[in-house]
Structure 1
Amino acid sequence: MSRQLNMDTLRQNFWKEEYLREKMLRCEWYRKYGSLVKARQKAKAAARLPLKLPTLHPQAPLLPPPAPKEAPSKSPSSIQEAPFQSEMCPVPPATRALLYEGISHDSQGRYCYLNTRKLDLPEKRYLFPITTNFTYGWQLGPPVKQELVSCKMCRIDSFFRKNGAFALLDPRDLAL
């Protein structure tokens, strides 16, 4: 903002009064809300401090309860429970082994693992669509390559106008 050279006494008094009014408003606000702001700042600072947990002493192992005489024919295995606990399918061992080979900086390790995992279809990685965006690509199958028509006049590259939004309509822009 440039400095105004046409300052007279009336304008000087106006700016002086505005400055004092602003200063008084700030002082009133500080008197009214200053203690609340300080209390909130202290609460936030206390929340940022690391929480000290009590140390747990090792306890003597408890004896397992006696097994009932009638044991069920099938015992639930952890492999069957895993799909219910996770949204993703288990990773094949060959793909998981990529995690431990090399470092990401050399395009190995995690970098190679993620790129390999990215190539899998979503149906192979997830048990069900997690978000609504998954439904757009869920179970589409391999991409189908479309054949291009040899006639350039028949092919429409885009639905946007080639002459800009506010230009007059061009007959080449219309798909009839």
Structure 2
Amino acid sequence: MSRQLNMDTLRQNFWKEEFLREKWLRCEWQRKYGSVVKARQKAKAAAHVPLKLPTLQPQTPVLPPPAPKAASSKPPSPVPEEAPCQSEMYPVPPVTRALLYEGISHDHQGRFRYLNTRKLDLPEKRYLFPITTNFKYGWQLGPPVKHELVSCKMCRIDSFFRKNGAFALLDPRDLAL
């Protein structure tokens, strides 16, 4: 679209009036809805402020009072074992964990080698249970098995071509072998 250069007084007054009308509409909208928009923006900003939780100090275990030495005829009770860590994964074998501290990832050592070694393990050996629904597809699937295709040449030819007569006379060049 080309620019119109023939600007007369009538057209100039029209554009001036249009500009002033748009400016007036914007001012009216701001007067009417400006406070609502500002309140919404403040509410959104307040919602995006991260919630800071207070830090908890580690609790020291309460030690029982020392027993008198005279009543030591009973053998001491076994020390209660700590509850196992509530983790979703089995602990990493020490040999695999040692890979983390050997070299750097840039040289395909360290973390890079650790992750590649860890990914070779089956999911059942890494995780206690399937965490996501996608895990269920490969859970306890076992190693991949390669199946050999057992078919004869004529079976493949009969099933490959259409039966409607498009290839009535088979040319040896048309065969997919």
**What's the TM-score bracket when you normalise by the shorter of the two chains?**
0.5 to 0.7
What is the TM-score of this pair, normalised by structure 1?
0.57
Within 5 Å, give how 1:1-176 maps onto structure 2: 2-3=1-2, 5=4, 13=14, 17=18, 20=20, 22-35=22-35, 40=41, 44=45, 64-66=63-65, 75-78=80-83, 81-82=84-85, 85-149=86-150, 151=152, 154=156, 171=162
Please give the secondary structure, in 2, of the residue aligned with 1:154.
Answer: helix
- Structure 1: stretches of 5+ with no match in the other structure: 156-169
CA deviation string 1:101-128 (max 9, x = no partner): 1111111110110010011100001000
Please give the secondary structure, in 1, of the residue aligned with 2:124.
Answer: helix
Please give the secondary structure, in 2, of the residue aligned with 1:27.
Answer: helix
CA, structure 1 residues 67+87, in 2 after alignment: closer, same or farther (shift >3 Å)?
Answer: farther
- Structure 2: stretches of 5+ with no match in the other structure: 164-177
- In 1, the alpha carbon distance for the partners of 2:2 and 2:133 equals 57
- In 1, the alpha carbon distance for the partners of 2:92 and 2:151 equals 44
CA, structure 1 residues 139+63, in 2 after alignment: closer, same or farther (shift >3 Å)?
Answer: closer
What is the TM-score of this pair, normalised by structure 2?
0.57
Give the structure with higher Rg (CA): 2
Q: Which amino acid aligns with 2:109?
A: Q
- In 1, the alpha carbon distance for the partners of 2:111 and 2:97 equals 9
Q: Which amino acid aligns with 1:27?
A: C
Cα RMSD for the two superposed structures: 4.7
More deviation in 35-44 or 22-31? Answer: 35-44
- The Cα shift of 1:149 comes to 4.0
CA deviation string 1:37-58 (max 9, x = no partner): 556459849x769x7x89x9xx
- In 2, the alpha carbon distance for the partners of 1:123 and 1:5 equals 75
- In 1, the alpha carbon distance for the partners of 2:118 and 2:144 equals 18
CA, structure 1 residues 65+96, in 2 after alignment: closer, same or farther (shift >3 Å)?
Answer: same
- In 2, the alpha carbon distance for the partners of 1:73 and 1:62 equals 17
CA, structure 1 residues 137+43, in 2 after alignment: closer, same or farther (shift >3 Å)?
Answer: closer
- The Cα shift of 1:154 comes to 2.9
Identity among equivalent positions (%) equals: 57
Q: Which amino acid aligns with 1:77?
A: E
- The Cα shift of 1:5 comes to 4.7
